[in-house]
Structure formats: structure tokens, C-alpha cells
Homo-oligomer: A and B are copies of this chain.
């Protein structure tokens, strides 16, 4: 397919590369041109504006940091909403709010453009190695049309609903489950340390119980305090939990565990951890127990 790809951060670059590898024609745009050039050497067409990336594309994928960044690209001066041709589909893979996903659907719909939400699970390595999990939602025909794109970037695609924002609810729910694991690590590791039990040994037990690569990977990061450089910054984790709680509010679902995690992440920010990995949530819990890292 002929597509535009906007947003070449660590996640986006990997995704765009796999689209190229799968034989799609990819026009890329990134605010700082440098990252685009790397992909240009692999066959991407480098463009100078979001608008240009839309030209002649059947689909435009955005992979940006948050709601305002997407809003700027879509609705800003020279934004894609005014450049996409009839029938072109905007696929948002960013972790955005449910309310904003709904707005995107409405606005694109009003212009006879299509809109799909297709956020992904996986860290940058997974994006690079085509191991992302894609969660897509939206009008069923549009999804079927775009399936080759999802297949190109991930190891599996889940279609979770006919309203695009439902995919965002799933993405946020998944992030909450991951964050809950981090909080559980934090509390149990702190107890182990104060009980004189090697928390690495405790982690071995947990890994034997759960047998999960995610527990294994994050458990190691937390146990060794590998928080810097961050694979996913605490301030971004806080942003995601904010979105979880906004969605919870709108859906009228009390989420005390999400609230607890939010408060701990805020405490992390208050102690200078904004740019550390979000798994340093565990450091907040340890600090509350009087432990120094």
C-alpha cells in the first residue's frame, strides 16, 4: 500500500522500517529531519510536511507522544485533516485519550475521511523486530483494508471493536495491568529488603510462579534499579495513568489501584524521577518504607 508515516521516534522508526520491509511505499515525516533520513536510506520517501506525507496515500499512520502532538499534526495549520483525500484512512497508533480518539473519529468522519485507532504494545526493541501487539478498532471494512499494515508491524493484531476509541481503552487497560505489576514489585521488594531476604531471590520465585517474559524483564530492571536511561519515562507513564483515570471517570468505573499508582508516580516526579524509567515507581514505595536506594 501507499502510506504516509508521521512520527519517527524510537517506536515509529521501527514500525516504519517494517512497513518498508513488507514492501509498502512509505512517505515519512518527522519534525527533526535526521530521523527521516535514516529511513530514506532504506527506501522511504522523505517529506517536508505532514501534508506532503498524505499526498496520494491510502493511509496515514501517526505515532506521536500525546494528544496535543497529534492535535497539532492533524488540525494545526497544514494539518493532515485538510490534506487527506476522500477515502484515505488516518491510523492513530499513539497512546491518546479516549475523548480525543472520539474527537478524531468525529472530525475525520465529517470530512468523509476514515479513522482507525491502532495503538500497540511493546517496547522499542519489539517495534524494531516486528513483535508488537496491535490493538485495532474502527469500521470493519477500513480495518480489513489496513490489515496488511498491521501484519507488517506486529506479531499479532486484535480487533476489539467498531468504535476507534475502544482500542484506546484496551491500550490504557493493558498499561494499567503492567503498572500494577510494578507497584506489586515495589511493595513486595521493599518487604523483602527489610526482612533481610535477597529481593533477587524473591524475584526468582516470582518468575518461577508466573513464567512471564514481562515479569522477567521488568523484574530485573526493578531489582537492579536499571532506571537510567529510561526505556519509558516515568513522566510518560504518569501521562498514561492520567488517561486511564480520565477514561475511568467517563465510564464511571472507580479504579483505586490506578489512583494509587498515579499518586506514587506523582511522588516520583516530586523526587526528581520524571526522566527515569517508570518502573522506578518501585523506588517511591521503597522510599516510603524508609529505604534508600
Interface-lining segment among A13-21, A78-86, A209-217: A209-217
* A169 interface contact, C-beta 8 A: yes
Main secondary structure of the interface of A (DSSP, over half): helix
* A177 interface contact, C-beta 8 A: yes
- How far is B178's CA from A173's CA once the two chains are assembled, in angstroms? 18
Q: Beta-carbon contacts of A172-214 to B below 8 Å, as 1s and 0s?
A: 1110111011011101101110111110011011101111111
Q: Is B197 a contact partner of A176 (Cβ separation < 8 A)?
A: no
Closest chain B residue to A266, Cβ basis: B254
The listed residue (B173, B254, B257) touching A270 by CB distance below 8 A is B254
Q: Is B174 a contact partner of A209 (Cβ separation < 8 A)?
A: yes
Given contacts A169-B191, A196-B163, A266-B248, contact A289 B254 (CB under 8 A): yes
Q: Is B267 a contact partner of A254 (Cβ separation < 8 A)?
A: yes
Given contacts A188-B173, A270-B290, contact A121 B205 (CB under 8 A): yes
* A22 interface contact, C-beta 8 A: no
The listed residue (B158, B242, B252, B257) touching A266 by CB distance below 8 A is B252
Q: Is A133 a contact partner of B205 (Cβ separation < 8 A)?
A: yes
Q: Is B187 a contact partner of A202 (Cβ separation < 8 A)?
A: no
Q: Is B188 a contact partner of A176 (Cβ separation < 8 A)?
A: yes
Q: Is B263 a contact partner of A197 (Cβ separation < 8 A)?
A: no
* A271 interface contact, C-beta 8 A: yes
Q: Beta-carbon contacts of A239-271 to B below 8 Å, as 1s and 0s?
A: 000100001110111111111101110110111
Q: Is B254 a contact partner of A135 (Cβ separation < 8 A)?
A: no
Closest chain B residue to A135, Cβ basis: B205
- How far is B252's CA from A204's CA once the two chains are assembled, in angstroms? 24
- How far is B189's CA from A169's CA once the two chains are assembled, in angstroms? 11
Interface centre among A173, A180, A209, A259 (most CB of B within 10 A): A173
Q: How many residues of A contact B (CB 8 A)?
A: 75
Q: Is B194 a contact partner of A253 (Cβ separation < 8 A)?
A: yes
* A285 proximity list for chain B (CB < 8 A): 254
* A288 interface contact, C-beta 8 A: yes
* A94 interface contact, C-beta 8 A: no
Closest chain B residue to A289, Cβ basis: B253
Q: Beta-carbon contacts of A155-169 to B below 8 Å, as 1s and 0s?
A: 010101101011001
Given contacts A187-B255, A195-B169, contact A208 B133 (CB under 8 A): yes
Q: Is B196 a contact partner of A161 (Cβ separation < 8 A)?
A: yes
The listed residue (B180, B183, B215, B270) touching A252 by CB distance below 8 A is B270
Given contacts A214-B211, A262-B259, contact A187 B191 (CB under 8 A): no
Q: Beta-carbon contacts of A35-69 to B below 8 Å, as 1s and 0s?
A: 00000000000000000000000000000000000
* A266 proximity list for chain B (CB < 8 A): 248-249, 252-254
Closest chain B residue to A171, Cβ basis: B205
Given contacts A192-B170, A204-B158, contact A267 B290 (CB under 8 A): yes
